[in-house]
Amino acid sequence: MNKIIFREWFGHKIYPILFGLCIIVSLGAYLTLDTLQQSVDDYIEENQKQIVGGDIVITDNRPLPKELTGKISELNPDDVVFDYQFNTIAYTENKSILSRIKAVSSAYPLYGKLILKENTSNWKPGSVLVERQILTGLEVEIGDSIKIGDSEFIIHDEIITEPDRPLTAFGFGARVIMHDADLEGTGLMGQKSRVNYRVEIKFPEEKSEVYASELKELVKNTKVTINTAEQSDTSVSNLSQNFLVFLKLLVIGVIILSGVGIMSVVKAFVNRQKNTNAIRIALGEQSGSVIGSYRLLFFWMSVLSVLLAWLASYGVLLVFDDIFTAILPNDIDLRISYLSLLKAFLIALSITAMMSYFSLQSISKIKPIAVLHKHVKQTEIRKLPWLWITVSIGLLFLLLYSELDSVMKSLQILLAFAVIWLVFAGFTKFLSAILKLLLNKRVIKNWLAVLALQNIFRKGNQSNLFITALSMSTMILGSVTIMDYAIQQQLIATYPEDAPNFFLLDVQTDQQQPLNDFFGKELTYYPVVRARIDSVNGVKSEVLKNQLGRYDNISRVFNLSYADEMLNTEYLQKSVIDKKLFAEVQGDAKPVSILSSFAEFLQVDLGDEVVFNVQGIKIKTEITSIRKRLKRGPSPFFYFIFQPEVLEKAPQIRFATIKFEGQDRAQIQTELAKMFPAITVLDGEKIALKLKEFVDQLKQLIQIFTALGLIAGFLIFATSLVSTSHDRMRESFYYRMMGMFNKDILKLTLLEFITLGLFAFVLGVAVATVISYMIIEYWFSLSFIFPWFLFFQSLGVILLILIVLGVIFNRHTLSANLIGFLKTES
């Protein structure tokens, strides 16, 4: 009997094709992302020490205490690497480029290999290693010389891979590696405000935690960070893992939608086999045996579909690996593991079992005489299948937990899925009710339109599911597209006309007038004093670090400034004295103004206390005003602004901005590097373009995997057509018997399909517009710009797909044999 089911299933190709596509689309994407995630996890596990640089890592943004360096000096020099990193301008006679200097001691690297193009050895002081961007930007070759600060260096070789820098897709400044012994000759160290001091130590793994504890004891009253390799975060884990988890959550949503498609296919096929099932039961076969034959069919279909999904995933990883470069280490090995394949099999079998449950259970209720005599049975009003719902939610929770490894996060995401689904389902129900009301009130007069709209509510049509699925996917894609368009139009594609395009860092006070003379006009200068937050309302920053969100790191060094007035890109949100930054405060506290976004992060308001540690001196302050930015973008801002008399005598540097109207900014940057080698010049437009390249890569990944939701929505629509094809064919015959022309039937079909598409698309775009407006206006503080061209372009694509589906389905319906169909109906 199993042969009969298999022959019927594969004899009607539409069923295995749609069933297979539902699994291939969702689990092919899942396998791809799971492979990427597993490969990243394996890479981190195998190369943790290489990625962080040593068994023990010490970091700070100021020179390390002598007690600490004295203790480290007792170790074997071959087991210690001193690492200093900062941005500066590298230049030749005619060219210049922003570079990221990495000065290391001779033991570098402790783990892994520094891979060079020429694989040269005997790298000596006075020479540097550079990446390709330096060679192309300065138009130099290996063996040529470049200048950094006050020193000239010979290019020894080109860097291919750094062992402790696996991610290179995004970063400001092209890499230059030099010997730490050459730093003093550059004259840059004493004038750079942003130097990352780092020490990497090779130490026996079993003793590393004890030694790290001894070092921590020496610096317990400082902000120096000391971690073992296992305790250290990496750029790979912070970006790659988190972003892949985000994409996986999108794909889990696609898996849920695909499950609905599988339910429709199974239901349509089982209904088609109703007479065959009735005959089998009438001949004495147990209903359990009949159900078993279906389960066997769907089991093997699931296995076959997962194998095809595996091939699809392998092809994507092989052919389209370039799209993942932004989030993957350079030398990662991508391969689909047996564990990933096993997980895919379990998901496919679970979702098939759950989604085929009701259709297969209906077989046990078949009454052969009633079916064969075509008695119409009234649909029973059943209670909600709570057991099925509970098991389904439990399986979804287990899937989320396997990805997030956190009960709380899994429950939060599960709740988020439910809320989003209910919101869109609620909107769909509400709009459907309005449409029904219009039909009942006979507001719509055209008979063809009335028929088409009535067909939307046909039993088994799953219109609500299609609209919900398509509108949710449209919402995600639309939000990303609208935000990207608005940001690019205002910050990247058309750089703001009034925004500065040159940013000069580490300007000394005595350099201000020479810089003004160089540009021929007054630059805007901002004093910067480096300090840490000691406490907020009496609570130490170390305690708050674990309590506050991830908007910022409260324990880092902050840039403070002082002024008598606000920047022209800010306004007062609230203040103790109306329109005044500062007011008199009680005791020894000093008034301070805070930016609104950071005030929300610290959860502070007017009158609250913040204590700063300004290079060893404690300054207690009281918040007297809260500022808000008019716009975000290429303009400077400070979280905290003091009165001038409080900080003007503190050690400080300045940064300057200017809007340079000339065309040859590259030449100006080169001239500045020659005259002021310690000043770092940032070209705002170039940075914006660099940021755009990186964001575009991430956006492309989001769009690709969200687009799978659209595909899943169309699969639901296609499976609903299959599920209702018998009813649609019968109606088509009745229309033709009553004299309706084929072109009218086509119009009826297209009108129904287009209405569904417009319904879903407009709902998704409407919600996306509201979300995007809120984020753009209130988070980015930019003007909202709607991408009308992209809107109509996307609408046209969706309508074209629906029209093609409508034409194909209509031709299939009209090609059916009228006499044969009527015989089967009689």
Q: What is the DSSP string of 507-531?
A: E-GGGHHHHHHHHTSPPEEEEEEEE
Computed from CA positions of residues 743, 744, 749, 751, in that sequence, does the dihedral angle turn out positive or negative?
positive
| Residue whose C-alpha is closest to residue 612's, from 592, 630, 629, 635 | 592
pLDDT, position 237: 55
Secondary structure element (H or E) that encloses residue 348, with its range? helix 338-355
pTM: 0.74
E strands of 303-441, at which residues?
Answer: none
- DSSP notation for 420-440: HHHHHHHHHHHHHHHHHHHHH
Peptide bond preceding 166 in cis form (omega within 30 of 0): no
Cβ distance 632 to 491 under 8 Å?
no
With a CB cutoff of 8 Å and minimum separation 6, the contacts of 387 are: none
Q: List C-alpha distances in Å: 709 to 48, 62, 466, 742, 790.
A: 36, 49, 11, 34, 19
Q: How many CB atoms lie within 10 A of CB 435?
A: 17
Q: How many CB atoms lie within 10 A of CB 737?
A: 10
- DSSP notation for 206-225: HHHHHHHHHHHHHTTTS--E
Cβ distance 125 to 182 under 8 Å?
yes
| Residue whose C-alpha is closest to residue 631's, from 480, 490, 482 | 490
Q: Hey, what amino acid is at 767?
A: V
Alpha helices in 623-664 (DSSP H): 644-647
* Residues 705, 323: Cα–Cα separation, whole Å: 12
Alpha helices in 652-787 (DSSP H): 665-675, 684-723, 725-737, 742-774
Opening angle at CA 514, ends 511 and 515, nearest 5: 80
* Residues 433, 440: Cα–Cα separation, whole Å: 10
pLDDT, position 167: 58
| Residue whose C-alpha is closest to residue 178's, from 118, 134, 112, 225 | 134
Both structure tokens of 682: 């940032």
| Residue whose C-alpha is closest to residue 113's, from 159, 66, 149, 145 | 159
Look at the chain and count its residues. 826
| Residue whose C-alpha is closest to residue 200's, from 362, 286, 295, 77 | 77
The three-state secondary structure class of 128 is: strand
* Residues 316, 807: Cα–Cα separation, whole Å: 31
Computed from CA positions of residues 737, 743, 749, 751, in that sequence, does the dihedral angle turn out positive or negative?
negative
pLDDT, position 473: 76
- DSSP notation for 371-382: HHTT---PPP-P
* Residues 505, 159: Cα–Cα separation, whole Å: 27
| Residue whose C-alpha is closest to residue 470's, from 799, 699, 772, 746 | 799
Both structure tokens of 46: 């195998």
Opening angle at CA 553, ends 550 and 554, nearest 5: 120
| Residue whose C-alpha is closest to residue 24's, from 248, 322, 262, 247 | 262
pLDDT, position 378: 45
Both structure tokens of 750: 């297209």
Cβ distance 621 to 612 under 8 Å?
yes
With a CB cutoff of 8 Å and minimum separation 6, the contacts of 285 are: 1
pLDDT, position 384: 66
* Residues 546, 555: Cα–Cα separation, whole Å: 10
pLDDT digits (tens, 9 = 90+) for 728-780: 777 777 777 777 888 888 888 888 888 888 888 898 899 889 988 887 777 66
* Residues 755, 758: Cα–Cα separation, whole Å: 5
- DSSP notation for 582-606: ----STT-EEEEEEHHHHHHHT--T
Half-sphere exposure of 646 (CA within 13 A, CB side): 26
pLDDT, position 192: 58
Computed from CA positions of residues 100, 105, 111, 112, in that sequence, does the dihedral angle turn out positive or negative?
positive
pLDDT, averaged per 10 consecutive residues of the chain (826 residues), comes to 83 90 91 85 77 88 88 92 92 89 93 85 91 91 93 93 68 85 86 80 89 89 84 62 77 85 87 83 85 93 95 86 70 81 94 91 78 53 75 92 87 88 86 86 83 76 73 81 77 60 84 89 89 92 81 85 88 90 91 92 93 91 91 75 92 85 76 85 76 71 75 79 74 78 85 86 90 78 81 89 86 67 56
Cβ distance 781 to 629 under 8 Å?
yes
Cβ distance 84 to 23 under 8 Å?
no
* Residues 675, 515: Cα–Cα separation, whole Å: 10
Cβ distance 678 to 191 under 8 Å?
yes
Angle between helices 788-815 and 684-723 (to 10 degrees): 20
Look-up of token digits 């088994």 = 460
* Residues 764, 319: Cα–Cα separation, whole Å: 32
Cβ distance 142 to 155 under 8 Å?
yes
